[in-house]
Chain A
Amino acid sequence: MKSNWFDRWIFESYQPTVQGLALFRIFASLLILFFLMPDATYYFDLASFPDDFFTPPPGPMMFFDSFPPAWVFFLIHGLLALSWICILFGYKTQIASIAAAIFMLILLGFIFSIGKVNHQMLIIILPLLMAFSNWGGAYSLDAHLSGKRAKANGWTLTLLALFIGFMMFTAGFPKILGGWLDIDTFATKGHLLNQYFVRGRTELLSGYMVSMNLPWMWGMLDWATVIFETGFLIAVLRAGWTRLFVSFAVFFHFSTMLTLNIAFLVNFPAYAVFLPWGKIHESISSLIDSKAKPHTIPIIFGGALFGLFGIIKIIDKMNPYMPVKEPSFDELVLISAAVLVVIILSVKKVIDLISSVKPRSIDTL
């Protein structure tokens, strides 16, 4: 039977390989374990706050009437870390992925009950969806123990793209209603001034941007932000467009980090799914003779990332260059690295496009 457009969109937009997804699994686990676990030192503060400060957002956290004791926070934190360690090694990967999402949901629920919700749902959605992708189907204890060949489920990437696209739309749509497209107002500049003067976010390029008085540029930034955020929902329809908008997102977060000092590293593991992991796997395989020892690839890849992330974390903790908390050294390095990766991939894509066009033009001649 011929499949329709809806089926093709769901099942054929992305064709990941199980090895590629396995490399992403190792990357995401290490990134989250090193940099994106909630700050455990905050748990004592939360537990010691008066009950009046417990103001949960409408939702399941309203079933509680105060912050739990610190040991509850540490218990959930420990279980969350354990889940991600299991994902890293690919042990009971599906259960561990779902557990990681649930533990993060509970932990963030309590943290956000201080009266402010931060928008970090992607770090919950990511393991929940990837649980069904077979990202534990290769280079994992699961694969080793079962001995079965697994197939990667590309639809999980389509669904993740849909979530990201819709959530981006929810950021862009209120801006249209709020007057961001009015040519007489400069909303981006307003938020910059608010962050700079009121919240004390005065690092990197923020001071330079505050002094910049170019109305056309501020107006253009307002429009670009709205077009990027609302356009993401349309981009979800094709894998190529989604990858393009994910690249825009990386630049968007990089620029907000430099100017508003807001680094949204928490979204990056979800963006990283859309990297060409299959090709990354092929490149690593061509460099390493993995036929004799099939576990060489994950050990080298995971070990290199572990070492790299470890060095960044140590420098971040020693804090020699960045005495401020926002953005932190690790956020600055990792988001800058993401920009570099996007630039390299874009250049490669352009070269590929040119080389595919060249023979045709010669033929025409």
Chain B
Amino acid sequence: MCNLSNQTVKRLFIFVLIYLPLQYAIVGIVGLKSSEPWPAFVFPGFKSVYVYGDSYQLNDFVFAVEINDNRLMREFTPRQFFYEIPNSQLAGFVRTNLESAEDSIAFDSSTRKWFHERGDELLAATARNIYYIHRRRYMTRLDGELKTDSVTVIKRLNIAEVAD
């Protein structure tokens, strides 16, 4: 068993006391430029505020899969579409991989194929176009109940385009 001397332990504490705030500053800067670095000694901030008085703002993400035969759409939540990904990682996964994408070219052919296969599996039929939709829902409390005021589409992206 390697036991550290008291002097080494004191130096280690001084290093940690300097390192922790320094790495936090770096996490902040890198996080602003791209995403949160890892490994880092931080906990989640959850700093966003979505409630102002009696008005609430929610962000909905859905995957609309077009059925090849009749061109009808079926919507799936991220939890349904990416059922294997843990719920704790889903929102971040969607934000990183889909919210940042500009168009379907952002995904290579193997990824588009994967989306199609997933669409086929969920529909139990052949999927055509698959859309990623980000909606913002505004809710108000009326007579003690939460009611949706309005819905705005923030983003609609065809992630597995099929040529007509």
Contacts and interface: CB of A to CB of B under 8 A. Distances in A.
Given A116-B93, A132-B3, A171 B56 contact: no
- Contact residues of B: prevailing secondary structure: mixed
A50 B49 contact: no
Interface stretch (A77-85, A177-185, A305-313, A343-351): A177-185
Interface residues of B, number: 69
- Contact residues of A: prevailing secondary structure: helix
Interface in B46-94: 46-53, 56-61, 77, 79, 84-93
B154 interface: no
A352 interface: no
Contacts of A159: 12-13, 16
A107 to B, nearest CB: 12
A197 interface: yes
Contacts, number: 210
A334 interface: no
A114 B84 CA distance: 12
B45 A171 contact: yes
B37 A114 contact: no
B38 A117 contact: yes
A325 B58 contact: no
Given A150-B1, A167-B41, A174-B47, A52 B58 contact: no
A121 interface: yes
Contacts of A262: 88
A173 B92 CA distance: 21
A190 interface: yes
Interface stretch (A4-12, A25-33, A287-295, A357-365): A4-12
Contacts of A173: 45
Contact of A200 (B49, B79, B108, B113): B79
Contacts of A57: 35-38
A153 interface: yes
B56 to A, nearest CB: 6
A15 interface: no
B79 A199 contact: yes
Nearest to A61: B38
A136 interface: yes
Contact of A114 (B9, B48, B89, B137): B89
B108 A132 contact: no
Interface residues of A, number: 80
Contacts of B42: 119, 121, 167, 170-171
Contact of B96 (A49, A55, A175): A55
Given A50-B114, A114-B93, A116-B93, A166 B41 contact: yes
B152 interface: no
A45 B42 CA distance: 28
Interface string A185-209: 1110111011001111100000000
B111 A163 contact: no
Contact of A115 (B86, B87, B93): B93
B58 to A, nearest CB: 5
Smallest CB-CB A-B distances: 3 pairs: A116-B92, A178-B47, A115-B96
Given A42-B86, A58-B37, 12 more contacts: A6-B13, A58-B38, A59-B38, A114-B92, A115-B89, A115-B96, A116-B89, A150-B1, A170-B41, A170-B43, A189-B51, A194-B50
23 contacts: A10-B13, A52-B97, A53-B97, A57-B36, A57-B38, A58-B38, A59-B38, A61-B38, A94-B1, A112-B89, A115-B93, A116-B95, A136-B1, A162-B16, A170-B24, A171-B44, A171-B46, A174-B45, A177-B47, A184-B52, A185-B52, A193-B139, A326-B87
